[in-house]
A = this chain, B = another copy of it.
Amino acid sequence: MPSSHAPVRRKVTLIDIAAACDVSRATVSLVLRNSPLVNRHTRERVQAELQRQGYIYNRAAANLRRRTSSSIALVVNDLGNPFFAEFAAGVDEVVGTAGFVTLLGSTGESAERQQAVLSSLVEHGPGGVILSPAEGSEAGRVMDALGPQMPMLMFNRELEGETPASAPWDILMLDNVRGAELATEHLIAQGHRRIAFFGGHTRSTPGQQRRAGFLAAMKRAKLKVPGSYLVESAPNRLDAVRASAALLDQDPVPTAAVCYNDAVALGLMLELGRRGLRPGRDFALTGFDNIDEAALVSPALTTLATAPRERGRQAARLLLARLGHPQEHGQCTTVPVELVIRESSCPPPAA
């Protein structure tokens, strides 16, 4: 709903330029878009005047008249999370290069807030929306906020509830299943038998998929996974430290863990250190994301590279490609992730 916003002082418009050059607004408009219809002399006079008066193009007015858009809405959970910050940087890079502007919104991982953010952003007329859904966000509510026509791309997570067949959206997902399989297979190849899956929430899409990949690889290797070897945590370092006890206070204790992500793995490494266990020597672990720190921490962390900035670029490219073709929605892209082997995934102490 409208609210009162800041007044703007009178700006230079086409009318001012047209009057000063003694031509019509139409001619100035054509000059602005470098139309070949305007003769050289007129064009130069107009351009000089545009410069002189400090004319600033009003893209909103042009968009209104042409019924076009020059913005893309980007809604992420939290820019404080480097994964999303990098993703946003990638999106903005491509969006900007394409001559669009990025409308930013963040949800703080709250479906309620996401609803408000989407409702606000859509009023600004974005050409499309890139959404990294908050946990628990439902397809129906998102559609309510954005309307049935809006080109959309979901990143990283699926919406809950039924997908309306009338208006599917594009999806860009990491291959979480395969990634967790790769990490698990690597630890098995190193000789581990008692391997746990540590961290993340079961209810999130990536959490489910990474667990599924882990369990699939374990099953193929005919290795048992006790229920107590599946330990949940919030997907951040602090909560991982807290949750580490549930992982390590077991008998028999696992010799290795596939961690939900790097943040969680780093938290586990901290707790191992506190207990006098050296990660990469007394305990093997892998992460997911390949954040900068993974290469720099000691021991360096074996992890799965997801290249979030490149994913952002890719998301923007996919959405921009859709802008002219609303009927073609529904494409799902799964991006392979790459195992980066470093020191943390050592063989088991006994081996």
A residues lining the B interface (CB < 8 Å)? 1-11, 32-34, 54, 56-64, 66-71, 74, 78-80, 82, 85-86, 88-89, 92-93, 96, 99-106, 117, 120-125, 127-128, 147-149, 237, 266, 270, 273, 292-293, 296, 298, 309, 323-324, 326-327
Q: Is the CB–CB distance between B86 and A80 below 8 Å? A: yes
A34 to B58, CA, bound (A): 29
Q: Is the CB–CB distance between A105 and B100 below 8 Å? A: no
Q: Which residue of B lies closest to A5 (CB)?
A: B68
The residue among A5, A66, A147 with the most chain B CB atoms within 10 A of its own CB is A5
Q: How many copies of the chain does the oligomer comprise?
A: 2
Among candidates B62, B67, B103, residue contacting A2 with C-beta atoms closer than 8 Å: B62
Residues A125 and B59 in contact in the complex (CB < 8 Å), given A103-B101, A237-B296: yes
Contacting residues, chain B, for A121 (C-beta < 8 A): 101
A58 to B67, CA, bound (A): 11
A309 to B79, CA, bound (A): 10
How far apart are A74's CB and chain B's nearest CB, in angstroms? 7
Contacting residues, chain B, for A89 (C-beta < 8 A): 78-80, 106
Q: Is the CB–CB distance between B2 and A59 below 8 Å? A: yes
Contacting residues, chain B, for A11 (C-beta < 8 A): 147, 149
A56 to B126, CA, bound (A): 12
A121 to B105, CA, bound (A): 17
Q: Is the CB–CB distance between A63 and B60 below 8 Å? A: yes
